[in-house]
Structure 1
Amino acid sequence: MARLLITGGAGFIGTHSCIVLIEQGYDLVIIDSFVNSSPISLQRVKEITKLTKKESIERLQVIHGDIRNQKTLEKVFSDAIREGRRIDAVIHFAGLKSVNESLQNPISYWQVNVNGTSCLLSTMHEYNCRNLIFSSSATLYGQPKSIPIPETATIQPINPYGNTKAAVEKMLSDISKMDAEWHIACLRYFNPIGAHPSGLIGEDPKETPNNLFPIISQVASGSRKVLRIYGNDWPTIDGTCIRDYIHVMDLARGHSAALNSLLKKEHKHLTLNLGTGEGYSVLEVVNSFEKATGKSIPYEIIGRRKGDTAISVADPSKALKTLKWKTSKSLFESCKDSWNWQSSNPNGFRS
């Protein structure tokens, strides 16, 4: 079976994808700086996939490193060749991902997200690894002109985080045109939520969370007093922002489907939305979370947040047509799984 390099594999989406990939028989080499993640998450991955100690050594190698360090990356690839188990493909999750943080510190976002990716691509080119899945984002679309949003929509980011994702996609497009041997998939996520049904892994932001679901979960647990909702004067059904929320396990299966397609050389350069095609307002999410968990979510309305947009909902039809992939989990299931993770791990992996 193919051997994969997973950058940022200890993160929220990375760990859930690792589970799916291990269950499908892939061997993984994970590189992570652990700046925004914990090595404990990968111990939980081993537990969920029931890897023995020997299997863990052979199938889930973990390297503490930064993708901006060219020597570290070169050692990963050269060691793999020396072991006779070269890297066949890369799934690139590593990067900074907070819209608010990117507004405050854009230099870091360009250094990590763009320069780090450039280092990775240079190393892949040097070691003749030409299969890549890139973790992109729906933030590329900015203020979309129509809903749902197709992949052909104008790329018009409204924050530095989105700008870095757009820059990497452009770099990948240029590489694909330059070298016909490359096979690339850019997967534009909408809003990943939920957790593994076991409750052993989930979203665990080290800093103050910016995403809706970790905040709701903290309010439900009592560690946060109130949910702050940024504006109730948006042009939506109830005045709060509408988003397309996708369960992280559905997202993980999307990566697996894209990988299988690339390794079969079915597509040279794919750009796909990964979303449900359904939008829910913040207040609808609050209501669903309360029904799924039996917990009350007190909230207060404050002013709009810089960098937000009223509605962002995917048109996922291309992924269905191209990969035969579609989501299977509901918002209600996502709320239940998020609460199962939070209630079982009130302090995240620091428990």
Structure 2
Amino acid sequence: MTETNGRPGTYLVTGGAGYVGGAVAAHLLAAGHRVTVLDDLSTGFRAGVPAGAEFVEGRIQDAAKHVHGGFDAVLHFAASSQVGESVTDPEKYWRNNVGGTTELLAAMREAHVRRLVFSSTAAVYGEPAGWPITEDAACAPTNPYGATKLAVDHMIGSEAAAHGLAAVSLRYFNVAGAHAAGRAGLGERHDPESHLIPLVLQVAQGRREAISVYGADYPTPDGTCVRDYIHVDDLAEAHLLALEAAAPGEHLICNLGNGNGFSVREVVEAARRVTGHPIPEVQAPRRAGDPAVLVASAERARERLGWRPSRTDLGDIIADAWEFARREGRDR
């Protein structure tokens, strides 16, 4: 257990009503910590806040109202995160992701809260030349979402160097599955939905007619894009380890992924086996900016955090997501 002065930690989780933030908050609570969730519910859900957490409805831009010296650390998930929207409404992303984090860091400095774990993204790498992708790969984001996350990484690095912040940025690849085998409220539900696994499961539920496969002529074994999928509970465990690894004056950056890739067709086939539904496909042209392969090297996370993902089977990841989707469907 991560402790401060021999006692359970007290943590602020910004964006803790969202998919990943809610799962991390649940893991913190299960480890015996005290958790306050700050979320404006613009994209999160009240049901996504785990039982036992204190909930504060508020904006990250107003962090000075909510950050105080009683917190041992902040885990920062609050952000706008739709790639397509970031292209059409970039000012929203710079205002929320960069402006909001600027206010959060200032509030933490004022309150003498000197530990931070930041939810970053593989989108900072853009279209890398090779794989597996290491943290030393060139960062060249292809959209404002990735650009704002990279800007925040730079901001955190400056804060650590100038003011002694102990910080870890975790760059996620494709997060999937559901916390605690689909427990109500703690699974993936975005509006609009853009992630492959929940879209495939919507087809299985009859909520959409078919899954679109964008490009079948990539230089991969079956011609479709290959991505690295990581279970949300493995991801959440990395955040608790990051709290322990954070060192004053250091900004540690770690990729989080399984190091293995699955193609679009492999995901669809696995979903057919899990759900027992046919899941029709529709072929569509390639999307601009879609690399053939995005697979992480997570060696640094293994070495520096002691992180070992254990839920790496694609069928098991989809099964957890399917259980959540079915429960959500029954509640509609």
| TM-score range for the pair, normalised by the shorter chain length | over 0.9
Q: CA 1:280–1:267 in structure 2 vs 1: closer, same or farther (change >3 Å)?
A: farther
1:267 Cα shift? 8.0
Quote the Cα distance in structure 2 between the aligned partners of 1:14 and 1:157. Answer: 23
Match of 2:168 among 164, 185, 189: 185
Corresponding residue for residue 157 of structure 1: 141
Are residue 143 (structure 1) and residue 127 (structure 2) matched? yes
Quote the Cα distance in structure 2 between the aligned partners of 1:148 and 1:346. Answer: 37
| Secondary structure in 2 matching 1:90 | strand
What letter is aligned with 2:270?
Answer: S
Aligned residue runs from structure 1 range 172-321, under 5 A: 172-179=156-163, 181-196=164-179, 197-200=181-184, 201-205=186-190, 207-262=191-246, 265=247, 268-321=250-303
Corresponding residue for residue 4 of structure 2: none
Quote the Cα distance in structure 2 between the aligned partners of 1:168 and 1:5. Answer: 18
Quote the Cα distance in structure 1 between the aligned partners of 2:91 and 2:289. Answer: 17
1:317 Cα shift? 0.8
Quote the Cα distance in structure 1 between the aligned partners of 2:255 and 2:118. Answer: 12
Quote the Cα distance in structure 2 between the aligned partners of 1:119 and 1:266. Answer: 20
Are residue 117 (structure 1) and residue 110 (structure 2) matched? no
Quote the Cα distance in structure 2 between the aligned partners of 1:267 and 1:212. Answer: 38
Match of 2:22 among 3, 12, 15: 15
Contact 2:175 2:232 in 1 (8 A): yes
Aligned residue runs from structure 1 range 20-169, under 5 A: 20-42=27-49, 45-46=50-51, 56=52, 60-69=53-62, 73-78=63-68, 81=69, 86-169=70-153
What letter is aligned with 1:3?
Answer: T
Corresponding residue for residue 53 of structure 1: none
**Runs (5+) with no aligned partner, structure 2:** 1-7
Quote the Cα distance in structure 1 between the aligned partners of 2:240 and 2:211. Answer: 34
Q: Alpha-carbon deviations, 1:244-264, whole Å to 9, x = none? A: 0000010001111111222xx
Contact 1:99 1:307 in 2 (8 A): no
Aligned length: 322
CA RMSD after TM alignment: 1.5
Corresponding residue for residue 52 of structure 1: none
Contact 2:93 2:148 in 1 (8 A): yes
Contact 2:167 2:251 in 1 (8 A): yes
1:266 Cα shift? 8.0
Contact 1:199 1:337 in 2 (8 A): no
| Secondary structure in 1 matching 2:170 | strand
Q: Alpha-carbon deviations, 1:7-47, whole Å to 9, x = none? A: 000100011111111011111111001111110222xx21x
Quote the Cα distance in structure 2 between the aligned partners of 1:308 and 1:106. Answer: 20
Q: Provide TM-score, normalisation by structure 1.
A: 0.89
What letter is aligned with 2:211?
Answer: L
1:306 Cα shift? 2.9
What letter is aligned with 1:66?
Answer: R
Contact 1:293 1:335 in 2 (8 A): no
Are residue 339 (structure 1) and residue 329 (structure 2) matched? no
What letter is aligned with 2:139?
Answer: I
What letter is aligned with 1:230?
Answer: Y
**Runs (5+) with no aligned partner, structure 1:** 47-55
1:308 Cα shift? 2.1
Contact 2:127 2:289 in 1 (8 A): no
Quote the Cα distance in structure 2 between the aligned partners of 1:155 and 1:189. Answer: 14
1:235 Cα shift? 2.1
Quote the Cα distance in structure 1 between the aligned partners of 2:278 and 2:304. Answer: 41
Q: Alpha-carbon deviations, 1:57-98, whole Å to 9, x = none? A: xxx2101111112xxx222234xx5xxxx0110000010111
Contact 2:160 2:249 in 1 (8 A): no
Quote the Cα distance in structure 1 between the aligned partners of 2:10 and 2:58. Answer: 19
What letter is aligned with 1:215?
Answer: L
| Secondary structure in 1 matching 2:329 | coil
Quote the Cα distance in structure 1 between the aligned partners of 2:299 and 2:249. Answer: 17
Quote the Cα distance in structure 2 between the aligned partners of 1:153 and 1:251. Answer: 21
Contact 2:157 2:250 in 1 (8 A): no
What letter is aligned with 2:12?
Answer: L
What letter is aligned with 1:99?
Answer: V
| Secondary structure in 2 matching 1:68 | helix
Quote the Cα distance in structure 2 between the aligned partners of 1:9 and 1:144. Answer: 30
